[in-house]
Structure 1
Amino acid sequence: MSFTRTLRAVGGAVVAGALLFGAAPTALADEIRDAQWPLKAFDAESVWKESTGKGVTVAVIDDPIYGNHPDLKGNVLPGKSFIDGGRGDQESKNDHGTGMASLIAGHGHGAGSSDGVMGLAPDAKILPVGRPDFGQGDGSTDLGDWIRYAVDQGASIINLSIEPTSLFDNEKEALTYAIKKDVLVVAGAGNDGKTELGPLASFPGVVTVGAVDKNGEIWSKSNSGSQMMVTAPGVKITSASAERSDYPYRLADGTSDSTAYVSAAAALLRSKFPDLTAGQIANRLVKTAALPKGKKLQLPDPQYGYGFIRPYSALTQDIPAGSKNGPLKTPKKDPSAGTGGATAPGASGGDQASEKKDSGLGTGAIVGIAAGVLFVVAIIVIVVVMQKKKGRNGPPPGGPGGYGGPGGPGFMPQQPGPYQQQPGAFQQPPGGAPGSYPPAPPTQPPGQ
């Protein structure tokens, strides 16, 4: 089994009772909701008028999840623990999986669900796929098993807030299996500040996610690379903890959290647009992504990808469905093949690579072809000479150099790619309109 690590840097101890804020538990619950700045940034109240993720199952391949947390109870399926073969919703110690689940499908608690952690897709269901912790286990289960289980149990989104150090063929095959089954696979970029992405984050067809702060600026430890697709909140993120004290929560940084938010946004979209493919869902996320105001980059950018997600815009803008794969690349049929791909049948080099001397054409056919070529050349020469005599040898249409201007025919001025943002096209609307990032400060606390 390949060694994996979670993508979360815990910035503080478990928040329990009144220890963090020096207040009573009720006040603490209010503080927890207020601390969820991504909900304000996303204008979650407007988002939830469009979709809450109902009817969508998100698999969280991570630590098992504490399904009885007051902010998660009812939204976590039994799932499976690949540690002991039991259920995946009974965790009481490790927090990471519970935290990711809460950012995706937490529903809060208390009157009007106004307390605790609220996920971005509060009506989605979580399928917990518990994995051995940090490479422990007997090697009988691995990422390939976990992915196949998630797909076969009906998950339409897989959240992978983990970073394998390698991918074996069976794991690549499982990823390809998920992608062929129209499951959207979302993975974190990693927290090392590197300028390269790991094997999972760079696998074709995976939505790779980096982390930004509340100003939309890249987190300094978020890895980067050419396969980066989008970014999402990943700095000072409050989420649920698996520990069973009153009001258990954690505060942390990491691309784990940003990955969970992208999975949640995908759940919102899959709920509202059930007929769209995984690639078309990714297309909506990409087409509505944005950059901090004033920042102009050639997209996709190694750090931002196409920008940070804007769920409200992705849910409401008029965006053509586009191709089945959208911005997602298609994995090779043979995961173990080299980067050059498989050679097509019959393309083994042809006559030039063999010792054959006979091309298969008879002498008469060769003579006929040669005569035809000479005839065409003669016609071209005659036409050119006639044009020169009539003074019609000026520059071709479109100016010097041929069609499209300098550079000659075929060198048209470069056009934006299918997912290229125009500078300023997605910058913050005046007054913090729905979907802006970050929005104007709210006039009242969320949930009221």
Structure 2
Amino acid sequence: MSFTRTLRAVGGAVVAGALLFGAAPTALADEIRDAQWPLKSFEAEKVWKESTGKGVTVAVVDDPVYGSHPDLKGNVLSGKNFTDGGTADHGSAGDHGTAMASLIAGHGHGAGDSDGIMGLAPDAKILPIGIPALGDDVGDSSIGDWIRYAVDHGASVINMSIEGRFLSDYDRRAITYASQKDVLIVASSGNSAKTKLGDLASAPGVIAVGAVGKTGKIWEKSDAGKQLMLSAPGVQITSASAARSDYPYRRADGTSDSTAYVSAAAALLRSKFPDLTAGQIANRLVKTAGLPPEESDLKLPDPHYGYGFIRPLRALTQDIPDGSKNGPLKTPKADPSVDTGGAAAGNGDQQASGQKEDGLGAGTIVGIAVGVLVVVAIIVIVVVRQKKNDRNGPPPGGFGGPGGPGFAPQQPGPYQQPGPYQQPGPYQQQPSAPGAFPPAPPTQPPGQ
């Protein structure tokens, strides 16, 4: 099923729900809140006594978010739409971004906010970053640009419910940039039951997330791989929708939703423990993760579950040593340019920080001069020795000469492409399979 057809199928489920509940708005409100089984599983009321995500900004790299949705109004910043250069808080034809934002920072509406969608971190702010839909021209932006924008505009968590099929060197440097700026990236594993994760989910420094159902058992379509770190609810998930004004909700399955819940849990922790690094936040999530009873003997991390499904209440309340700075996150390859605080060279128009070079200091100039003198001295020595070797060394064609053993021509690696910065290949917003309204009676959710 293509991305477009999946969205249409979700829309069909929404229409059916509107017809079913259109005559009973009170029942609809109760139904929407009752259908959010992950909140019951997480013991959300207890969670919110510990943290609500206040003071934390979560970037949502996705469709633009409908910031005027009654369950999101006031929690969505303006952001940027990379498809047209405008803001990303007015929604779009797609509702995927709105859905993810609501699972993270929805606050409900009505008396006592008892109606609509409640996110797991209802006081967090959403920084929407609008990106092209699958199949559209990505234009001049890339995954690297989206990550850098999020980092430079105050996000401490980046939710990427997309599948990166190809990461350029520039994109990988952006992940390093986020890591060295202490920003946590959370990405979907994928919805194709594959046994290998894509570039983004498997990149060092990224939390890859799979989906589980109400019993904590892994969803059969959740992609697996050795880099998978965590899992979270992703089956029969009710969320906000921007597709219809008369029925602004949807029901779907997918690792997109589970990724949003992990991002929300990270926001809760970043709010309560502001001095912990991104890696130490990941450590708390990993150390408190759980498994269904029948899978309790798995060797962890498991390619399907990672370290298990998240349990936010335990992550917030258990006494867990901080651990190392990077925690369970693998360290991305160091990029010296990250320390300058600006965007990568050659992409200056994306420098949100506005920093400019102030020129070379006196110490730097002296160091360069000394280096040049050393290089010149080495060249002189090599030339003198080479002249002696020409008189006494091996003939042409011997060791190191043409036809002799030496350096073979280097073949480009699988991700090496001509040019300094490459646009990414196709990426995929994780398609979601619709569920039916009304929901089936809930089974016992995985407890805390």
Structure 1 segments unaligned to the other structure (5+ residues):
336-435, 441-448
**What does residue 268 of structure 1 align with?**
268
**What does residue 14 of structure 2 align with?**
15
For the pair 1:438 / 2:436, whether they are aligned, the reply is no
Residues in 2 aligned to 1:45 and 1:75: alpha-carbon distance in whole angstroms: 20
Question: Do the aligned partners of 2:165 and 2:198 also contact (CA within 8 Å) in 1?
Answer: yes
Question: Do the aligned partners of 2:32 and 2:117 also contact (CA within 8 Å) in 1?
Answer: yes
**What does residue 228 of structure 1 align with?**
228
2:129 is paired with a residue of what secondary structure? strand
2:282 is paired with a residue of what secondary structure? helix
| Identity of matched residues, % | 73
For the pair 1:324 / 2:325, whether they are aligned, the reply is yes
Alignment of 1:238-257 (within 5 A): 238-257=238-257
Residues in 2 aligned to 1:199 and 1:132: alpha-carbon distance in whole angstroms: 19
Alpha-carbon spacing, 1:197–1:212, altered in 2? closer, same or farther (3 Å):
same
Please tell me the root mean square deviation across aligned C-alpha atoms, in Å. 2.1
User: How many angstroms does 1:218 deviate by?
Assistant: 0.4
**What does residue 311 of structure 1 align with?**
312
**What does residue 70 of structure 1 align with?**
70
Instruction: Please state which structure has a larger fraction of its residues in helix.
Output: 2
Question: Do the aligned partners of 1:285 and 1:314 also contact (CA within 8 Å) in 2?
Answer: yes
Deviates more, 1:83-92 or 1:190-199: 83-92
**What does residue 91 of structure 1 align with?**
91
Deviations 1:99-144 (A, max 9, x none): 0000000000111001101000000000000001114236311111
For the pair 1:108 / 2:116, whether they are aligned, the reply is no
Question: Do the aligned partners of 1:310 and 1:437 also contact (CA within 8 Å) in 2?
Answer: no
TM-score when scaled to structure 2? 0.72
Residues in 2 aligned to 1:37 and 1:272: alpha-carbon distance in whole angstroms: 24
**What does residue 197 of structure 2 align with?**
197
Residues in 1 aligned to 2:213 and 2:38: alpha-carbon distance in whole angstroms: 9
**What does residue 214 of structure 2 align with?**
214
User: How many angstroms does 1:93 deviate by?
Assistant: 2.0
Structure 2 segments unaligned to the other structure (5+ residues):
337-443
2:172 is paired with a residue of what secondary structure? helix
Count of matched residue pairs: 336
Residues in 1 aligned to 2:114 and 2:201: alpha-carbon distance in whole angstroms: 35
Deviates more, 1:167-176 or 1:268-277: 167-176
For the pair 1:53 / 2:53, whether they are aligned, the reply is yes
Deviations 1:416-438 (A, max 9, x none): xxxxxxxxxxxxxxxxxxxx952
Question: Do the aligned partners of 2:210 and 2:224 also contact (CA within 8 Å) in 1?
Answer: yes
Residues in 2 aligned to 1:223 and 1:25: alpha-carbon distance in whole angstroms: 38
TM-score when scaled to structure 1? 0.72
Question: Do the aligned partners of 1:187 and 1:200 also contact (CA within 8 Å) in 2?
Answer: yes
Please tell me the residue identity of whatever aligns with 1:329. K
2:186 is paired with a residue of what secondary structure? strand
Residues in 2 aligned to 1:25 and 1:280: alpha-carbon distance in whole angstroms: 44
Residues in 1 aligned to 2:66 and 2:214: alpha-carbon distance in whole angstroms: 28
Residues in 1 aligned to 2:248 and 2:278: alpha-carbon distance in whole angstroms: 34
Alignment of 1:294-309 (within 5 A): 294-295=294-295, 296-309=297-310
Alignment of 1:328-407 (within 5 A): 328-333=329-334
User: How many angstroms does 1:247 deviate by?
Assistant: 3.7
**What does residue 41 of structure 1 align with?**
41
Q: Which runs of 4+ in 1 moved over 6 A?
A: none
Alpha-carbon spacing, 1:11–1:301, altered in 2? closer, same or farther (3 Å):
farther
User: How many angstroms does 1:13 deviate by?
Assistant: 2.9
Residues in 2 aligned to 1:263 and 1:52: alpha-carbon distance in whole angstroms: 13
**What does residue 379 of structure 1 align with?**
none
**What does residue 168 of structure 2 align with?**
168
Alpha-carbon spacing, 1:100–1:273, altered in 2? closer, same or farther (3 Å):
same
